[in-house]
Structure 1
């Protein structure tokens, strides 16, 4: 296989991941490639169990095999393995959904999710890309980052995800300062309408953020009266994960 073929295959996987389930025409348009070329790559990836096509709608999506390969590799796997026990303790204490997110450039990737037993709950698919300014995990990650990283991030466009996403730079900077003071972030419906989350950064031995953990649930249950209790629980879980990561020698 030529280098260009490998590049095309990776771009197809990334495009499917971004928009799944997605049709051939939309993929070809996104990649600025012919439908024949994209279909050829999709068929090869399907043979290798990386993508699959729905029978009725003929839409393409990644397979569980593709996700399994991702979570077995690198930082997502190592931090997830270390964090899962602490996440379980946090989930039992709060009875709400717990998320673990790790950095990928200027976004976070959802690496693990423990669901609440409640019928009404927060939900994000594993592997979701999470904007830093729109999420509890992201704002906590920003608060734990160097000022130079924050300045660089704020220089980019802060797109709205919901009507309550923090897109004003001064407001976001004020929230970052508040997070640094209290130890956890509060995100009221900035990522998903009707969902409130509290997050804390997982710090490495040098103080750099390795990722973030959060508690998320309907705003009708996660009310201001519970912010301190849940925020302190999230902060404690993040510290415990960081200590365990340091003991395991995790480097992300």
Structure 2
């Protein structure tokens, strides 16, 4: 199991204070990593306390990732406090729902800024440090809508399509320099972002009928794939988008 051992590694998880991000951060800590959680709020979270309960170091960094200019300072802060950056999980994301005919420019720009632009520049900024180290693991969070168009979420679909594509682009440039860039694409997960679908009896039923596993995903379903991509077990895995969807894409 040494291939999956993350002791001595430092993982940055954006949006790691709850939901999918919290589950991924906790999973990485279980595998031995120390965790830097990036969140908008400065408040301490239950996730951080649970990680420390494992005997791992966990610190929170309060940054608004919609503000691209703050990314270099974030990277510098993490490096100063931890001394290194080995793993980056770009999980933070936002959603806006509206029929395409009515979708506002404001909502479009906000979703693209957080879900695509900030993710790329986090990859670039922290990737530079990893390239200097000659090693690193970047895991972007894509979506089923990296492959499909969705419904009333045109900006989200566009942003997640962008994440999948620049994951491959970065991998082409960095795979030979010791930095693995991959992505995970969660399916329908029972999280706050999907509340509108969960409470819609018709859409909920339609979604469940399409999932071979017969259930919505849970945040903890993300942990195994992320540990794999963060560990030495995936050293020859580059530019992949791994779906975690209960079989949805296989239908």
Greater radius of gyration (CA): 1
Structure with greater contact order relative to length (CA < 8 Å, sep ≥ 6): 2
TM-score with structure 2 setting the length: 0.27
Q: TM-score, normalised by structure 1?
A: 0.27
